[in-house]
Structure 1
Amino acid sequence: MEFHRLEHINRQDVHIDELVVHSYEMGLYMAEVDFDSRKGFIIDDSTGRPKRFQSIEQVKDALSEATIRKAYLSHQSAYDEMVGTADKVDNTLKVALFGSSEP
């Protein structure tokens, strides 16, 4: 799996094709970017693990220098795990967020 260091992608000369902010729990978000044809999570320099954010605004602020072409919030519901329901299906909700209107 690819990873991106925040210091390498939060620059004015960087154009991120797609940013997906994954929502896992209340106040826990991780950011996955598609940059330079490489898709990967932003890592925390101090731990080397995917960086955790506490809000979408915090992700936006962390990437304030880069140009983001498309951005989405992605969330998977746990309701398909209820007893008596049909087989598990992909119930990912993907909502458009911020980004530039560049082609």
Structure 2
Amino acid sequence: MNIADLRRHPEQINQVNILSFEGDIYIAELEYKDHRDVLQDVNGGPKRFHSIAELKEVVGATGIKRFNLVFNSPYDEI
């Protein structure tokens, strides 16, 4: 799903998981009732955001209000 699709059908999304990578790359994982999908850019790849605020501004403009921040920490492995 891309931004245009998301604007047309925001009711299909239960929540958006904000996936954090390397401190300044964020990807929106869209959580549906029965599966998950990554928000895509115009080329079909993952849409990258450079801040949580940018992601919430773009995705939040569709009416979606439920976000969850997800990040992996190497400290969990120690």
Q: Does the TM-score normalized on the shorter chain lie above 0.5?
A: yes
Gaps of 5+ in 1: 86-103
Identical aligned residues as a percent: 28
Q: Which residues of 2 match residues 66-85 of structure 1 at below 5 A?
A: 66-68=63-65, 70-81=66-77, 85=78
Query: How many residues in Structure 1 have an aligned counterpart in Structure 2?
Result: 76
Gaps of 5+ in 2: none
- Structure possessing the higher relative contact order (Cα contacts under 8 Å, 6 or more residues apart): 2
TM-score under structure 1 normalisation? 0.63
TM-score under structure 2 normalisation? 0.80
Structural RMSD (CA): 1.9
More strand by share: 1
Give secondary structure in 2 for the equivalent of 1:67: coil
**Larger Rg: 1 or 2?**
1
More helix by share: 2
